[in-house]
């Protein structure tokens, strides 16, 4: 158990809809990362937050947005969903603020867009 909690585990929705994925980081971790993993693909970096502030942005679509709340949990919002958005979405957390801290991943949310 990594200590990172992601909900829901599975999500099935239709094209054009909007969903929210939730992530609770490990206790004490200030940084949250979001990654997208499509079938048999690698981990595509979406966005990183540190202590409530956006720190780094990857190839995140404009239809996607995220935020980190004062209690450090994070939400990833996906809107106007397309079939191609079907993927496994991972959240990871790290202590950060320290040099070279490893990432601890949650179990992921599997999104299926029909």
Partner 1 sequence: GQQVMQIPQYQHVQEGEDFTTYCNSSTTLSNIQWYKQRPGGHPVFLIQLVKSGEVKKQKRLTFQFGEAKKNSSLHITATQTTDVGTYFCAGRKTSYDKVIFGPGTSLSVIP
List 24, 48, 68, 74, residue binding partner 1 (CB under 8 A): 48
Q: From the CB of 68, what's the least distance to partner 1, in Å?
A: 15
Task: Extract the tokens encoding 78.
Answer: 């996906």
List 43, 60, 61, 95, residue binding partner 1 (CB under 8 A): 43
List 32, 35, 72, 74, residue binding partner 1 (CB under 8 A): 35
Task: Extract the tokens encoding 107.
Answer: 């179990």
Helix (H, G, I), strand (E, B) or coil at 85: helix
Which spans of this chain sit near partner 1 (rule: CB under 8 A)? 2, 33, 35, 41-43, 45, 48, 55-58, 90, 92, 96, 99-100, 102-108
């Amino acid at each position: 158990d990594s200590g990172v909690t992601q909900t829901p585990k599975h999500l099935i929705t239709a094209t054009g809809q909007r969903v929210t994925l939730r992530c609770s980081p490990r206790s004490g971790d200030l940084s949250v990362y979001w990654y997208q993993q499509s079938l048999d693909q690698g981990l595509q970096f979406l966005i990183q937050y540190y202590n409530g502030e956006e720190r780094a942005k990857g190839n995140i679509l404009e239809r996607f947005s995220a935020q980190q709340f004062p209690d450090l949990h994070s939400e990833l919002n996906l809107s106007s969903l397309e079939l191609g958005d079907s993927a496994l979405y991972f959240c990871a957390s790290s202590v950060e603020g320290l040099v070279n801290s490893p990432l601890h991943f949650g179990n992921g949310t599997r999104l299926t867009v029909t």
